[in-house]
């Protein structure tokens, strides 16, 4: 199951990179919880779509996943924590950023969805 959770997380990020809303939506449990530099939010599907579409200006490129840790909580829930390095392309060609992320996945029926995601940008050293 741990491998499956890693693959789901990578599929989610690939959907973000490809700006494929259907992929990301199908892997998200609504309402979902999101925590990051903009605070903590409970997000319904309509708000999620609006947030997703507002990010169209910045194109992300997944550069690296590392330090992946997963923990199965039960047959229907698991958590994952990892580091991700993202390239951000815009008019100014921003430098890559590295984030520590966590996600909580739940299984309802045969479908896994992400119910909680956190991102913390790591300070540059």
Domains (ranges, CATH) in the chain?
A: 1-121 (3.10.450.50)
Distance between the two ends of the chain, CA-based, in angstroms? 35
Mean pLDDT taken over the chain = 91
| Span 109-125, pLDDT tens digits | 999 999 999 999 998 75
d(CA 71, CA 85): 22
Phi, psi angles (nearest 5°) of residue 12: -60, -50
Is 19 a residue whose pLDDT tops 70?
yes
Task: Please report, rounded to a whole number, the percentage of residues in the chain having pLDDT higher than 70.
Answer: 92
| Span 37-69, pLDDT tens digits | 889 999 999 999 998 888 655 688 999 999 999
pLDDT at residue 125, rounded to an integer? 57
Q: What is the pTM of this model?
A: 0.90
């Amino acid at each position: 199951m741990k491998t499956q959770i890693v693959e789901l997380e990578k599929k989610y990020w690939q959907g973000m990179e490809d700006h494929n809303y259907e992929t990301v939506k199908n892997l998200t449990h609504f309402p979902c919880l999101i925590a990051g530099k903009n605070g903590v939010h409970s997000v319904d599907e309509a708000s999620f779509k609006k947030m997703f579409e507002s990010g169209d200006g910045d194109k992300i490129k997944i550069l690296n996943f590392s330090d992946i840790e997963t923990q199965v909580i039960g047959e229907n829930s698991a958590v994952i924590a990892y580091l991700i390095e993202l390239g951000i392309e815009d008019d100014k060609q921003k430098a890559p950023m590295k984030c520590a992320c966590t996600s909580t996945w739940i299984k309802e029926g045969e479908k896994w969805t992400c119910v909680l995601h956190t991102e913390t940008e790591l300070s540059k050293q």
